Amino acid sequence: MIENGEAAVLRRPGFDRVLPWLFAAIVLWLVAAPYPGFVGKVALRAVDLAGLAILSTFVLVTATGPRLLVDRRLLPVHAAVTAILIWQTATLLFSLLRAREGFGALAPLYRPVLYMAALWAGGAAAMRVRNRHILVFAWTALVLNAVVATAQFLTGPGLAYYLFSGRSEEMITHQYGSRIIGTLGNPNYLGVLMATVAGFFAFRFATGKGMHNALAVIAGALLVLLSQSRTSLAVLAGVALVAVTLSFFAGDTGGRGRVVARWLVLVVPAAVALLVLLSVLGIHLRYLWTGIQFVFQHGLMQQSSFAGRVAVWSDVWQRILQNPLVGWGPSTRYLDITFVDNNYIALLFRYGFIGFALTMALIAYVVARTWNAARRGSTAGALALMLWAGILLGSVTMDALESMRLTPLAFALSGVVLAAPQRQRA
């Protein structure tokens, strides 16, 4: 007997050959879709909702909805996302009644729905997705961002920036004049994705998958540096640590001695190659190095952007303590601020400790499953794990956990792992 709807899949051989490549194209859309802020906010919301529509359509076309609903491997995630959606709905309705906010306050509710659609899309494709499909996505995301970043680096603030950033042209010129944003619209988000890609290919190299992976590591690390984001640099270091740890626990590596040797072979030449590239290209990274030097000389709390964040976090934390269980809803207008720049504190503020606990329990479960799958050789598991590591680390100074691009991508890859963990081997 063929489990998990495999029999139904086998009846459509032509479609089944296309299905995994269609899935790869859809997840690529999540990180490469234009996001032109100069067109207006309506267009940006349309791009967000297009992702939900594409993922949902994919699930419907594959006709796997009923199977995914009862798949015991996905049931814990279904239950957690449903609980999060119910809690957020209750919190937002309470906030709407209490603060007399407009019904626009209910807009954040489509995030859990988007994440579930992404998880289902991964589950729908799981029986046909193989190693090569995940690798094609990772390489394409890297190359595409390298091409866009090169255009941004050579031309400066212009169309290559405006097509991918939701911010105004004036803000782009002022804030990103010497920094690249790739297709993610923000140096920090680009840094998280490229740190993920670099960590993923570094893990593959360390476990004996070929020298070409080292080239991808160098390219990904270079894009992180060109973003000139201190957050991205810290995320890269954290993801690298996850990759190192995973490589020592993975099977079929030839022994830990060989893993250590491969890491040495990778890290030293890669560092030299990056220095040579920066020197040859005449790239000085003044914004990044000046900030790092200031922190070393004067301390992190004297750095203006971090000190400003800490002040905001302190104010928000005091508000959290006034309503710790339920939270205050999606709006931060009580504090006269636009961004909290810490997704953990933002979640506590919006949905209280209950909503925060539900969200983190869901992510902990998914991360544990991707870790186990990656250890057993799942390529999708390794990439999903690196992405979750980047998102969780980046959320300390940005809203990565509620990203409309990175988080759906993480859930889509995790859906592949959860629905058919034995299928995707590195």
Per-residue model confidence (pLDDT) at position 192: 93
pLDDT tier for residue 67 given thresholds of 50, 70 and 90: low
Asked whether the predicted pLDDT for residue 23 surpasses 70, the reply is: yes
Residue 5 domain flag: no
pLDDT tier for residue 413 given thresholds of 50, 70 and 90: very high
Structure tokens at 281: 């290209």
Residue 3 domain flag: no
Per-residue model confidence (pLDDT) at position 1: 30
Residue range of the domain that includes 326: 19-419
Residue 4 domain flag: no
Asked whether the predicted pLDDT for residue 408 surpasses 60, the reply is: yes
pLDDT tier for residue 19 given thresholds of 50, 70 and 90: confident
- Which among 149, 146, 174 has a CA at the least distance from the CA of 161? 149
Residue 311 domain flag: yes
Per-residue model confidence (pLDDT) at position 52: 83
Tell me the C-alpha to C-alpha distance, in Å, between residue 62 and each of 70, 101, 278.
16, 40, 46
- Which among 162, 139, 275 has a CA at the least distance from the CA of 215? 139
Per-residue model confidence (pLDDT) at position 193: 95
Helices (H), 282-342: 286-298, 304-322
The per-residue pLDDT for range 177-233, each reduced to its tens digit, is 778 889 998 899 999 999 999 999 999 999 888 889 999 999 999 999 989 888 899
Q: Are 203 and 247 in contact (CB under 8 A)?
A: yes
Tell me the C-alpha to C-alpha distance, in Å, between residue 129 and each of 125, 282, 345, 374, 387.
6, 42, 36, 15, 18
Percentage helix, strand, coil, to 5, in the chain? 75, 0, 25
Provide CB contacts within 8 A for 91, sequence distance 6+.
326, 327, 329, 350, 351, 352, 355
Structure tokens at 268: 């030293």
Considering the entire predicted model, what is its pTM? Answer: 0.89
The total domain count for the chain is 1
Residue 1 domain flag: no
Q: Are 75 and 133 in contact (CB under 8 A)?
A: no
What type of residue is 425? R
The per-residue pLDDT for range 270-308, each reduced to its tens digit, is 888 888 877 776 677 777 777 777 777 777 777 777 777
Residue with the bigger pLDDT between 48 and 391: it is 391
Per-residue model confidence (pLDDT) at position 2: 35
Residue 206 domain flag: yes
Residue 8 domain flag: no
Tell me the C-alpha to C-alpha distance, in Å, between residue 297 and each of 116, 183, 396.
46, 34, 23
The per-residue pLDDT for range 319-351, each reduced to its tens digit, is 889 888 888 876 655 556 667 889 999 999 888
Residue 191 domain flag: yes
How many helices (H) and strands (E) are present in the chain, helices listed first?
Answer: 18, 0
Averaged pLDDT of the chain: 83
Asked whether the predicted pLDDT for residue 11 surpasses 60, the reply is: no
Per-residue model confidence (pLDDT) at position 245: 93
